[in-house]
Structures are given as C-alpha cells and as structure tokens.
Amino acid sequence: MGNFYQTLQVRVSRIEHVTPLIKRFTMEALDGGELPPFTGGSHVIVQMRDGERQYSNAYSLMSSPDALGSYQIGVRREEQSKGGSAFLHDKVAEGDALTITTPNNLFALDHGAHHHVLIAGGIGITPFMSQMHELRKRGASHELHYAFRADEHGAFRDELAALTQQSSGGQVRFYIDSQGQKLDLSGLLGGMDADAHVYVCGPAPLIDAVRQAARDRGLDPSRVHWEQFAAPEQAGDAFTVVLAKSGKTVEVGAGESILKAIERDGTVPVECLCREGVCGTCETRILEGEAVHFDQYLSDKEKAAQKTMMICVSRARGGKLVLDL
C-alpha cells in the first residue's frame, strides 16, 4: 500500500482530432529521450491541475511498446465528464507540459495462450492498439472484434486494418450499431478455441455481457480479462466506517465513496491517484467487516480474501467497516 508510482513530465507534441469526440495526444519526454518501457495493455495516469481543482485520469497507452520516443493516448470527451477529459479536450494545447505516472499494466496479454480474442466497445479500443503491436511482433494468433455506435465513432480503423495486414496471425472485424451490425457474443465465445483467452474493454454493459457469456460457455475465469476506465456509480445503502488508527468514525452516504466521506470529514489524509479503482494507491486493510469490491486492481482471489479494499470505489457489505486508517 502507498504510492509506488513514479511521475514524470512530458510535453504534448501533437493533438489529433480522430472522431468528433476523440482526440489522440502524443507525448514526448522533455529532454527528447526515451520514455520508460511498457507492455501492451499498459496505462498511465495523467495528473492535471485546473486552478484549485486537480484531476487524475487513467488512459491506455496506444503506441507500439517498441517506439519509446513517445507515448500516445486516446481521450474521449465524456458527456458527463468529471473534469479530466474536458480539461484535456478544452485546455491542453500542443507544446504544453503534463505530469504522468510511469506505465502500469493490469490488462496484460497472457502469452501462454495459443489464441487471443479481443473485444472492444467504443473508446475501449485504446488498450488493444498497443496489444495489437505486441501480438504482431510475436506472430501470435488473434482476432479483434470492435463495436461502436455509428460510422463516425469508429476510431483508428485504418491503423487497425494496417496492423492486421502486417500480422501473420491476426484478423479484425468491425460492428456498427447504427447499421444493424451486432456482436454475437454467444456465437463468438461458443466457437472459441479451448486454449484461447478473451479480453474485453469498453462500457460496463459490454463487459458484463462478455463475462456472462464466458460463464455460460463454462470458460475458466482465468481466461477472461477485462478493463474499464470508469469508476462505478456509487450506489447502495449508507454505512459507517470506523478508522481504527485515528479513532474516528465516518458516515458514508448512499451515493458517496469511502474516500470522499473521509476527505469530507477532513481528519485523515488518504493518498489516491486515480479515484477509479485502477491505480492501487488507496488500498486499505480491512480489520472488521466485509467489502463489496468494485475495483480492477485486486485479483478475484484477493477480493475473496477480504484483507484489503480500494476505498475510492468499493463499499461495505453491511452497515459497518473497520479500516486500518
């Protein structure tokens, strides 16, 4: 627990309008040197300050892991932005400096698999861009299924097609919802190779549907990988959190995270970068009670053990939690 991320300054060297809602940001080291290495599926956390407000958003690295002269991220302007995507779209210009963390990967390819099935929805295509580079380099067998709402929202299709043409073992298929092209998950997973792994990134309903289809198919959960860069909506009953070290008791509202409740109380400083259950910096020991886990950082085994939780997104199962804070 604690902040194990390092930060670095980068300069935005190029901003491209990819679709009406998506911009691609290319970032380079201030000294022009190489950036830290990463693997396909990695993300960085972009830290932004807008006056007195600070935002920390996780974004997948899209560029090739072999091209460390720059990083690329794709940012969709969210209709109900909490501030980060709007800040990048509206206030960041070419030449500006940004603070980012070193890369971390919670969505890595399993190179023991003989075949990889990649499923993307909307902006969820971004982690697969770097993964496609990695798969192409390895000559690994893979297929990408990319669904989006309308033709104008299908980002990076030409690049994906080019990557597929350069690959000896890959194929890609696009599904445009407005044209009635639907992704048949049952059929797709039902015909999947016995030793294949499936990866999904996109809106919560797509992730839930893929995971359910995998369960229906009887796939081993270890062969299903998912990533979603959006904190779940805070819902559920209010509950009480006892902070054992500080001797404080904090009431957490029905639509409030534990982190926000502690910050509102203002008595105990808690470190957190992403506020989306991704980075792991707010991992906190559970001394009493059980958590309902909504993060993407802990493994299923770690969640079942009920030893720690991410207080930025996870909640209490029941009316009370005692935490090591």
State the pLDDT at residue 179.
94
Residue 69: how many CB atoms within 10 A of its CB?
Answer: 13
**8 A C-beta contact, residue 277 and residue 309:** no
Mean pLDDT in each 10-residue stretch from start to end of the chain (325 residues)? Answer: 76 98 98 97 94 89 98 91 88 98 95 96 96 94 95 93 83 94 93 90 94 92 87 77 96 92 87 86 96 92 96 94 97
Say what the pLDDT of residue 1 is: 46
CA atoms within 13 A on the CB side of 123: 23
CB atoms within 10 A of CB 23: 19
Q: CATH 2.40.30.10 region(s) of the chain?
A: 7-101
Q: How much is the mean pLDDT over the chain?
A: 92
Sign of CA dihedral 200, 206, 208, 212: negative
**Which residue is it, tokens 């015909």?**
191
Sign of CA dihedral 265, 266, 271, 275: positive
- Calculate helix-pair angle for 157-166, 126-138, nearest 10 degrees: 10
CATH class of segment(s) 7-101: mainly beta
Do residues 10 and 100 lie in contact, with contact meaning Cβ atoms separated by under 8 Å? yes
Residues of the chain with CATH 3.10.20.30: 239-323
Stretch (H or E) spanning 84: helix 84-91
Q: State the CB neighbour count (10 A cutoff) for residue 163.
A: 20
First to last CA, the chain: 12
Give me the torsion for CA of 314, 316, 322, 325, rounded to 10°: 20
Classify residue 2 as exposed, middle or buried by CB count within 10 Å of its CB (0-12, 13-18, 19+). Answer: exposed
Beta bridge partners of 251: 240
The correct CATH number of 239-323 out of 3.90.1150.10, 3.30.930.10, 3.10.20.30, 2.40.128.20 is 3.10.20.30
In whole angstroms, give the CA distance from residue 283 to residue 311: 7
For CA atoms 142, 301, 187, 177, the dihedral sign is negative
SS3 content of the chain, % helix, strand, coil (to 5): 25, 30, 45
Q: Is 272 annotated as a binding residue?
A: no
In the chain, CATH 3.40.50.80 sits at 115-227
* Distance from the Cα of residue 260 to its chain's centroid: 21
Q: What are the tens digits of pLDDT across the range 174-185?
A: 999 999 999 999
Check whether domain 115-227 has CATH 3.40.50.620, yes or no = no
pLDDT tens, 56-65?
899 999 999 9
The half-sphere exposure of 156 on its side-chain side, counting CA atoms within 13 A, is 29
